[in-house]
């Protein structure tokens, strides 16, 4: 198959625009060849991409932990679009399907993949994680089964944001939230907002979110929280929760949240913060608090699609700011406004 045609005969361009991180703090627009699908892949015309905190971190710092940007990299991993070409082993009926991309490729044969926890695969290739390119570009490849079909009623913005929703689903599953439970969430940003909605969907009757920004506290009450307050507010005094979720990465918030977990409850650390934190080990042990982290997700997209399609979770409300591909550097560089939840990039603009 040539790079200028699909199996349907649809003519595709030979090249595409891509926003490329050349080095820390430097993004340039390049013309790149439109990629050609392998036998098990599909080519997606990218319509919407969410800007993630990891994209910002790579732009501003050039690395996250051991992952270092040492060669040009296309950022962006929260993405959705339309299938425009398919590999030889893929059903041609998929052409034209609107899809949300699960942006990872696992080996499928290691012990983690075989037990379904493919996010822990040691050979994982993840969009926008060096050296794997992401989707701040007009076209991108993904394995056929990780291009999840979405209903026509779902916007491309919402479909792209199924990726952070998947993080929330993974976190709530880890905390074993069920009917009547209570949850405390630190951070009323986009992750806090989706965790709040998913916790309610899984049965939590009380979802309290803390955030220092008043505008975000007001917004989170429209997005699943039953209560919102400033960190350390008097309203939290003496209260204990079934589960705590950190969506800030701030050590003080993590420590405070763990100390508010009921005996036998769970604390799930989602936010990216310091590599090392001093945690209240005596409280963790004496209360048997289950402390865990979240590394992406596995088997979450079908649940996420149903939550959004049914109206249980609202992702369109999170898409507050919109940019064309030439303006990618703005949300990477500039501090977001208090009213910003998610900046969305639209590569076809």
Helix (H, G, I), strand (E, B) or coil at 120: helix
Same domain (yes/no): 335, 216: no
Same domain (yes/no): 251, 213: yes
Task: State the residue range of the domain holding 140.
Answer: 15-161+315-346
Same domain (yes/no): 221, 288: yes
pLDDT score at 102: 98
Q: Is residue 309 part of a domain?
A: no
pLDDT score at 1: 40
- Name the one residue in this structure whose structure tokens are 């934190």: 277
pLDDT tens-place values along the chain, 349 residues long: 444 445 545 689 999 999 999 999 999 999 999 999 999 999 999 999 999 999 999 999 999 988 999 999 999 999 999 999 999 999 999 999 999 999 999 999 999 999 999 999 999 999 999 999 999 999 999 999 999 999 999 999 999 999 999 999 999 999 999 999 999 999 999 999 999 999 999 999 999 999 999 999 999 999 989 999 999 999 999 999 999 999 999 999 999 999 999 999 999 999 888 888 999 999 999 999 999 999 999 999 999 999 999 999 999 999 999 999 999 999 999 999 988 999 999 999 9
Same domain (yes/no): 258, 144: no
CA distance 146 to 280: 39
pLDDT score at 11: 84
CA distance 76 to 78: 6
Q: Is residue 334 part of a domain?
A: yes
Measured between alpha carbons, how far is residue 213 from residues 161, 188, 260 in Å?
A: 23, 8, 21
Residues 223 and 193: beta-carbon distance below 8 Å: yes
Of the candidates 213, 95, 78, which has an alpha carbon nearest to the alpha carbon of residue 144?
A: 95
Dihedral sign for Cα 196, 202, 205, 206, please.
negative
Query: Please, which residues bridge with residue 290 across strands?
Result: 266
Same domain (yes/no): 52, 139: yes
pTM to 2 decimal places: 0.95
Q: Is residue 102 part of a domain?
A: yes
Same domain (yes/no): 274, 323: no
Q: Is residue 302 part of a domain?
A: no
What would the two tokens of residue 23 be?
């080095």
CA distance 144 to 100: 11
CA distance 302 to 231: 34
Q: Is residue 4 part of a domain?
A: no
Same domain (yes/no): 23, 154: yes
Residues 231 and 211: beta-carbon distance below 8 Å: yes
Of the candidates 191, 198, 211, which has an alpha carbon nearest to the alpha carbon of residue 269?
A: 191
What total of structural domains would you count in the chain?
Answer: 2
Q: Is residue 3 part of a domain?
A: no
């Amino acid at each position: 198959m040539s790079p200028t045609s699909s199996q349907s005969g649809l003519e595709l361009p030979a090249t595409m625009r891509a926003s490329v991180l050349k080095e820390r703090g430097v993004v340039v627009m390049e013309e790149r060849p439109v990629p050609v699908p392998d036998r098990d892949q599909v080519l997606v015309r990218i319509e919407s991409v969410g800007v993630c905190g990891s994209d910002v971190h790579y732009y501003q710092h050039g690395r996250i932990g051991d992952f270092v940007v040492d060669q040009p990299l296309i950022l962006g991993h929260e993405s959705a679009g339309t299938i425009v070409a398919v590999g030889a082993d893929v059903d041609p009926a998929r052409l034209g399907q609107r899809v949300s991309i699960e942006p990872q490729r696992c080996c499928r044969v290691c012990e983690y993949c075989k037990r379904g926890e493919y996010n822990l695969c040691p050979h994982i290739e993840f969009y926008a994680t060096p050296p794997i390119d992401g989707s701040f570009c007009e076209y991108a490849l993904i394995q056929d089964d990780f291009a999840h079909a979405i209903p026509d009623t779902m916007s491309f913005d919402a479909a792209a944001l199924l990726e952070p929703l998947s993080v929330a689903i993974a976190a709530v599953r880890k905390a074993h939230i069920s009917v009547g439970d209570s949850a405390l969430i630190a951070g009323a940003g986009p992750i806090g907002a989706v965790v709040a909605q998913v916790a309610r969907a899984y049965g939590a009757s009380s979802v309290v979110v803390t955030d220092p920004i008043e505008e975000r506290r007001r917004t989170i009450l429209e997005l699943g929280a039953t209560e919102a307050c400033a960190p350390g507010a008097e309203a939290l005094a003496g209260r204990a929760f079934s589960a705590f979720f950190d969506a800030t990465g701030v050590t003080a918030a993590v420590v405070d949240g763990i100390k508010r977990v009921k005996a036998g409850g769970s604390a799930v650390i989602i936010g990216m913060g310091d590599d090392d934190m001093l945690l209240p080990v005596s409280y963790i042990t004496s209360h048997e608090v289950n402390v865990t982290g979240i590394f992406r997700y596995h088997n979450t997209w079908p649940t996420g699609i149903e939550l959004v399609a049914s109206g249980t979770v609202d992702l369109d409300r999170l898409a507050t700011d919109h940019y064309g591909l030439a303006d990618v550097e703005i949300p990477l560089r500039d501090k977001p406004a208090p009213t910003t939840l998610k900046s969305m990039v639209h590569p076809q603009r």
